[in-house]
Amino acid sequence: MSDLLLANNLIRQGLEGLIPYEPGRPISLVEKELGIEEAIKLASNESPYRPFPKAIEAMREAILNVNRYPDGGSTFLREKLAGKLGIPISKIIVGSGSNELLRLLANVLLNPGDEAVMAMPSFIVYPTVVKLMGAKPVEVPLKDHRHNLKAMTDAITARTKIIFICNPNNPTGTMVSRDELERFLAGIPENVVVVLDEAYFELVRDASYPNGLNFINDKIPVVVLRTFSKVYGLAGCRVGYGIAPEFIVQAVNKVREPFNVNTIAQTAALYSLDCDDEVEERSLLNHEGLQYFYAEFKRLALDHIPSHANFVLVGVGTDGRKISNDLMKKGVIVRSGDIFGYPRYIRVSVGTPDENSRFINELESILKDRGKRTL
């Protein structure tokens, strides 16, 4: 039997339309393939800074105990989060990044034929986890690069089980304000779960940005997701958390892996929660990086979408994939906008000041060179 026939017989139906997630390419691999050194990565919305010193020291100690299984309930981390956020521990779940929590929520909430409403483009994991359960993603186009909340409300049907709101939105960096979210939630049926994905929560500096925890109540089921992958600098550890109604937490605990968050990740996250001053410092550095980008884009006459996160979509006036490939050859790794539906844009993450300057210099050089070739 051929591999194709065997696959058709063995692989579960419904996976045919799923496309594997395309992560940003790691620095080491790019350097190896292109034969270059000192590449920088501004492609995956990571922190350009290492974990906080307190977390690093705690991880060094924790590594001595990895011969033992981790705490299956992430108990100490959940207790610390409960005290810091003022939320009962029974409403807190921890996962291997918020990606795992998105999949687990789909596992426990969606049946085949159900629907989930989301913006388009938004975080690519939303439609993936929905399709995985045999449910239907209902993708509502952005309006002026922002969530079209009225259209999302209009898209709700009797089959709708989940609404995803990525705030700020990835890949556009735009946000839903507190007033907008309040009005939106007021029109949501009580049997629809609203997932507020706040991966970039600590980086937003706009006073009108809502804290999703203020919408945890008994009116409609709201789930708030956050992560240690961004401002805390723990993307490689894979640890995120969610605040949800107890019945959802209980259901998730039935289907999650028993040791889903490793010991090092739990320890790093636990001690990072003591570093509020460092979080504020890095949030400010990110803001300054965004302002530097905006000024340089204006100087270069490049369109861009102002962002509340740690990345920017910038128009390059030509094929974004070609520009991203040219940048990669110079050791600057960014994302091409075509994968998000912005083919003449690239998405660049905020790096250190030196990395930001290098990106601008290389981008300017590439654009000038392309301009000469078109004359």
- CB 59 within 8 Å of CB 268: yes
pTM of the model: 0.94
- CB 162 within 8 Å of CB 303: no
- CB 3 within 8 Å of CB 10: no
Q: Tell me whether residue 207 is exposed, middle or buried, using C-beta atoms within 10 angstroms of its C-beta: 0 to 12, 13 to 18, 19 or more.
A: exposed
Q: Which CATH architecture has domain 24-50+277-374?
A: Alpha-Beta Complex (3.90)
197 has which bridge partners? 166, 225
The CATH code of domain 53-274 reads 3.40.640.10
Element (H, E) at 234: none
81-128: per-residue pLDDT in tens?
A: 999 999 999 999 999 999 999 999 999 999 999 999 999 999 999 999
d(CA 86, CA 213) in angstroms, rounded, equals 9
SS3 303: coil
Domain ranges of the chain: 24-50+277-374, 53-274
d(CA 130, CA 139) in angstroms, rounded, equals 11
**Whose CA is closest to 350, among 42, 18, 4, 107?**
42
Q: Which two tokens stand for residue 165?
A: 């709101």
SS3 198: coil
294-345: per-residue pLDDT in tens?
A: 999 999 999 999 999 999 999 999 999 999 999 999 999 999 999 999 999 9
241 has which bridge partners? 94, 226
pLDDT at 56: 98
Q: Average pLDDT over the chain, rounded to whole?
A: 94
